Amino acid sequence: MKILMIDKGLPFSFDSYLTECLGGSENSFLLLSQGLEELGHSIVLLNSSETGIPERRDNRIHHNVNTLKSILPECEVVILNRCLPEEPFNTDKPIYYYAHDAYDQDHILYWMVNKEVLNKITKILCVSEWQRQTFNKYYDVPLDKMIVIGNSINADLFQGYIERDESKLVYASIPYKGLDILPQLFNDIQIKYKKHISLDVYSNMNLYGEGQDNTPYEKAYSDLTKMNDVTLFNPVGVRDLCHVFKSSSIMLNPQTYHESFGMNFLWAQGCGCIPVTTNVGAVHEAIEADATGVITQGKSILSHNTYIEYIDLIIELLNMQKQNIYCMRQSGYLHARQWHYPYIAKKVINIIEG
């Protein structure tokens, strides 16, 4: 089967997810293309790459979206990511939309309210049941129009031993998911725990392209740079991110925004770094509470009770017996492997062949 995949997010090449800091949406889409190709399908992957020279690998071709009109007629199926379904399609080929964003994101808002555009989509491939239910609730998208497949990750990157620092915590997420409260939160954890711990922070709005506005978080960055035992880094590609998670003990994710899934939870769990987050969005689908990670009962970290609960959960993990920590890490590894990209690709083919 010849499958056309179109992404209008950040520019990338086949190996970008390994070496560059891309959003989870681009990472997932790239890995899906790899999985479909490994299943024996011919893949044409178009995105906003600036080069005019096609990149070829095995049975995949990567090119610029400007080549769409010449390529579309020879493809049997279309899969979209962050690309409006009416641009510039005039085709009766099946169109699948791989939705990675939450219901209130710009990539979703415009076209889901337009029934004419929505009707062009054969199926919406959702990353979580929470996402599916919110699309139904806020946009009245029929539930049978959507199917949950999850995000695509490369579980092969979980392999390899790195000595873990049991006193190291890590924050690796976009700033609007909790960076602003991180300085006070980590300070309060230090005060309550009393023993030495450190925090590495990998966060920057440039994750979503150069020129993104970091201004709202300048105070948080400034405060973090002044704190002992805190080190700031630029975001990294998933190969380096897995190295970070393998060498760290706990992933802090105070989460001031709802997750449509939470890919970094999977990378962390697969690498043995236990995520601690708040009870918002789809986190219960990415994490098995108290088995592979920890989720607060409270929904908002801005609530005093949830804030205190979050700190207490971190302290409990830091004090947990080694055997129990080991069991959580093993469970997290097995849990995260469910989203290994060949499994997701097989789900997609089963849906297409229906």
Q: What are the residues facing 98 on neighbouring strands?
A: 125
Residues with Cβ < 8 Å from 150, sequence gap 6 or more?
Answer: 127, 128, 261, 338, 339, 344, 347
Q: Is the pTM of this model over 0.95?
A: no
Kindly report the number of other CB atoms within 10 A of residue 293's CB atom. 28
DSSP codes of every residue in 177-221: GTGGGHHHHHHHHHHHH-S--EEEEE--GGGG-TT---GGGHHHH
Between CA 72 and CA 90 the distance in angstroms is 10
Angle between helix axes 182-193 and 218-225 (nearest 10 degrees) is 30
Kindly report the number of other CB atoms within 10 A of residue 64's CB atom. 16
The residue assigned the tokens 């998208």 is 141
Q: Is the dihedral of CA 343, 36, 29, 153 positive or negative?
A: positive
Q: How far apart are the first and last CA of the chain?
A: 14
Per-residue pLDDT of the chain (354 residues), as tens digits, is 999 998 887 777 778 777 777 778 888 999 999 999 999 999 988 887 766 667 777 788 777 777 777 788 888 999 998 887 665 566 788 999 999 989 988 777 778 888 888 888 999 999 999 999 999 999 999 999 999 999 999 999 999 989 999 999 999 988 888 899 999 999 999 999 999 999 999 987 565 555 555 677 888 889 999 999 999 998 888 999 999 999 999 999 998 888 899 899 999 999 999 999 999 999 999 999 999 999 999 999 999 999 999 999 999 999 999 999 999 999 999 999 999 999 999 999 999 998
Give ∠ CA 229-324-172 in degrees, rounded to 5: 35
CA 136 vs. chain centroid, Å, equals 22
Measure Cα distances from 344 to 29, 58, 100, 143 in Å.
11, 20, 14, 20
3-state SS assignment for residue 276: strand
DSSP designation for 72: G
> Are 132 and 148 in contact, with CB atoms under 8 Å apart?
yes
> Which structural domains are found in the chain, ordered by start?
2-152 (3.40.50.2000), 155-338 (3.40.50.2000)
The residue assigned the tokens 């590609």 is 237
Q: Which of 254, 238, 266, 262 is nearest to 176 (CA)?
A: 254
